[in-house]
Structure 1
Amino acid sequence: MTATQVRHLGVKIARTILVTAGLLLLPVMARAQNDIKIRDLTSAEGALPVRLVGYGLAIGLDGTGDRAIGGQTAGPTIQSIINILRRFNVEVPADLIRMRNVAAVLVTAEVSPYLRAGGRFEVNVASMGDARSLRGGTLYMTPLVADASGAPLASAQGSLLVSDGGAATRYMPSHETSARIPTGGVLEADLPRPAIVATSRLLLREPDLGTATRIAIAINATYGEKTATVEDEGSVIVTLPDSVQKPTALARIRDLAVKPESRPRIIIDGKDGTVVAGGEMIVGSATVSHGAITLAIGTETANDTTAIPGSVRLPAGIPVQRVASALHAVRTPPNEIAAIFAALREVGAITAEVIVR
């Protein structure tokens, strides 16, 4: 055998090894893509998020704020403006204030109990009055409290970011009376933090006995039998040996991957009509008449060619995605899409859980 033939043979053998290795890795990669880390399925006992709230003003609006008119019946927006000006030793009679560039807003946030003073977090802002839009506004410095009568724990301020939420239509106009500030909140005091103990619970965000059992099996395979036991569908008790470092062990446990129980769900956005279906969900025979739309699944005949306005006819056994596409094709409003899928669930045409957001 010549040197050239030997070289070609070596190349063929290398290619065969690479192809074989790739085929062997495909099932492993597929399993890895379906597995989820325990940290994404559970939360530690006592690590409840702290919810903060505050009342503030959105300023700098382009004539789209509250209809703020002073006088004897001055509303909360006018009174808040007067209070702010008084802090700077500026006195303005209430009956002289005419403003459309300010809006009274409610500020809400949710922070981790492990966040330290100086840490930043996202805040959500929503109009409380009759403002038409918060676009282009800025949130004036607003104290945030966990309890209405408690001391401020944080503050928020910054430019408001209004989500477009899809193009406005005649069925659903654009919604601009709520906004967010990605890093607008600053924690000003440390929060009470739960201590790391030898025995703790992992609380499932979505209680399920099968998922809880898989979590316990994965932990026991790493740290030995009886390290984790299933307390109920929503809790797994973890008892760590005294010989291990608790923070390191808990971090390693949360990085373990398990395959959660799969639940068929259909999620519908009530604002823009977006429909998200997990997996290949099939819709059975049913007829739903809602408003000006009539959806008939599995009732069409071979000789039926009549086109009725607002009528959608589809064969039985069709995927959820095609039903959603057909409803969008006839410009079905988002709230009617949600009502139609909920009706299909009630009559048994689909077995998935329907969630409207």
Structure 2
Amino acid sequence: MELFPMIRMFTSIFARALVALALTLCVVAAPAHAERIKDLGTFQGVRPNQLTGYGLVVGLAGTGDDSLDYSTQGMKGVVSRFGLTLPAGVNPALKNAAAVLVTADLPAFAKPGQRLDVTVSALGKAKSLRGGTLILTPLRGADGQIYGMAQGNLAVGGLGVSGADGSQVSVNIPSAGRIPGGATVERAVITGFDTAPQLTFNLAEADLTTALRVADGINQAFGDRRARAMDAVSVTIDAQQGAEQRILMMGLIENIEVRPADAPAKVIVNARTGTVVINGAVRIAPAAIAHGKLTVSVQESPRVVQPLPFSKGETAVEPSSSISVQEEKKPVINFKGGASLADIVKAVNAIGASPADMVAILEALKQAGAMKAELVVL
């Protein structure tokens, strides 16, 4: 075997080993629980926009709006595009048509010609949109301008069937459907990110510590002081003018990893379902809890009283009530200072508290000042 090929082979193996070692070190050096900046928020101006339109679905199998004025006016508007005018005072019964609202989300940087998914929902009393076709419908933004045009056959996941006697069977929601790729973008939204004096990154959840860490992470990655936390949500970044330079910087910033601040201590209570969620930041100060359960039972056992034979008495019902009181004795739970979430759950389970009882215990701990957490009742 020649010498040079062997050297090249060993050099290639050594280079691959160095690359694998470098990647391993990068993974090890990443901060614990770090998250990418792109997962913490979005750049200002780079967001989707909501589009809405009013349209008409035709081709239904007798499950339309019947005589809804909106669908009648819509049908008159549709036929007028083709030079057909319905006689005045004529309101056709449109059982095979339905007035609908069409909604879609226009992504950031969407260009004319791109396709969008649209959702079509019945506006009136249409029983089902299955098998219908949406007629060409303009989609408007909040400024009233047309940004897309929608048309196509609906895909309806629900099913509704009704009988002559009025009986009905419905599976899911047949009065709403989707058209995958059913809209075409007609106008792009100007984001203004390339001409703004500075880039602004907005956090999804307001937190001063996280905003400072995002700014520090950007400054460390670029080796300067271009990022500044302006408040608990916004981080401003100095950037050169021009879309190319800013897109490059935004792509680098999005993949910087930072460790967000720990969530504040919260206890979430859903009073309707009895759900209680306690996050790991909740701590309990020294406190003692005794939770008992008082049960009052009232039983009614009326008796029928018969008169003596050959007497003038009448049969009567004599009430008879029995009241009993039972109180369960529960042990007193003593919380030491700094009790964690696991301690709380273990203690509450030990006294056999239900979700409703747990809500009462947490509220009492909050009022006693032993629980330093925000209590949110949904």
Against the structure 1 CA distance between its residues 175 and 187, is the aligned structure 2 distance closer, same or farther, given a 3 Å change threshold? same
What one-letter code is carried by the residue in structure 2 that aligns with 1:128? L
The aligned residue for residue 115 of structure 2 is 120
Structure 2 length as normaliser, TM-score?
0.57
2:148, 2:119 → 1: CA distance? 14
| 1:134-213 pair list within 5 angstroms | 134-147=129-142, 150-162=144-156, 174-196=172-194, 199-213=198-212
1:341, 1:110 → 2: CA distance? 42
The aligned residue for residue 164 of structure 2 is none
Match of 1:317 among 344, 348, 352: 348
Instruction: Give the number of equivalent residue pairs.
Output: 273
The aligned residue for residue 70 of structure 2 is 76
The aligned residue for residue 107 of structure 1 is 102
Against the structure 1 CA distance between its residues 110 and 278, is the aligned structure 2 distance closer, same or farther, given a 3 Å change threshold? farther
Q: State the identity as a percent.
A: 31
The aligned residue for residue 42 of structure 2 is 43
**Structure exhibiting the larger radius of gyration computed from Cα positions:** 2
The aligned residue for residue 86 of structure 1 is 80
1:89, 1:105 → 2: CA distance? 24
Instruction: Tell me the C-alpha RMSD between the 2 structures.
Output: 4.7
Say if 1:162 and 1:179, in contact at 8 Å, map to a contact too: yes
How far 1:135 moved relative to its partner? Answer: 3.6
1:140, 1:121 → 2: CA distance? 16
Query: 1:246 and 2:256 equivalent?
Result: no
Against the structure 1 CA distance between its residues 143 and 231, is the aligned structure 2 distance closer, same or farther, given a 3 Å change threshold? same
Say if 2:133 and 2:154, in contact at 8 Å, map to a contact too: yes
Structure 1 length as normaliser, TM-score?
0.60
2:151, 2:292 → 1: CA distance? 51
Say if 1:65 and 1:100, in contact at 8 Å, map to a contact too: yes
SS in 2 for 1:98: coil
How far 1:235 moved relative to its partner? Answer: 0.2
Worse-superposed segment, 79-88 or 130-139 = 130-139
How far 1:119 moved relative to its partner? Answer: 1.7
SS in 1 for 2:230: strand
The aligned residue for residue 256 of structure 2 is 256
What one-letter code is carried by the residue in structure 1 that aligns with 2:228? T
Against the structure 1 CA distance between its residues 99 and 343, is the aligned structure 2 distance closer, same or farther, given a 3 Å change threshold? farther
The aligned residue for residue 335 of structure 1 is none
Give unmatched runs, 5+ long, in structure 2: 1-20, 159-169, 283-288, 294-326, 331-344
1:110, 1:28 → 2: CA distance? 40
Against the structure 1 CA distance between its residues 86 and 42, is the aligned structure 2 distance closer, same or farther, given a 3 Å change threshold? same
The aligned residue for residue 215 of structure 2 is 216
Match of 1:130 among 101, 125, 128: 125
Say if 2:106 and 2:116, in contact at 8 Å, map to a contact too: yes
How far 1:114 moved relative to its partner? Answer: 1.5
Say if 1:157 and 1:185, in contact at 8 Å, map to a contact too: yes
1:181, 1:344 → 2: CA distance? 50
Say if 1:139 and 1:157, in contact at 8 Å, map to a contact too: yes
Against the structure 1 CA distance between its residues 276 and 139, is the aligned structure 2 distance closer, same or farther, given a 3 Å change threshold? farther
What one-letter code is carried by the residue in structure 2 that aligns with 1:154? G
Against the structure 1 CA distance between its residues 223 and 163, is the aligned structure 2 distance closer, same or farther, given a 3 Å change threshold? farther
The one-character-per-residue Cα deviations of 1:227-246 (angstroms, maximum 9, x if unpaired) are 2111001100112479x943
How far 1:251 moved relative to its partner? Answer: 0.8
The aligned residue for residue 237 of structure 1 is 236
What one-letter code is carried by the residue in structure 2 that aligns with 1:184? G
Against the structure 1 CA distance between its residues 147 and 354, is the aligned structure 2 distance closer, same or farther, given a 3 Å change threshold? same
The one-character-per-residue Cα deviations of 1:29-85 (angstroms, maximum 9, x if unpaired) are 9967x443222322222334332221101233333321x22xxxx601012112212
The one-character-per-residue Cα deviations of 1:237-275 (angstroms, maximum 9, x if unpaired) are 112479x9432122100111233345468799x9xx9x8
Against the structure 1 CA distance between its residues 137 and 343, is the aligned structure 2 distance closer, same or farther, given a 3 Å change threshold? farther
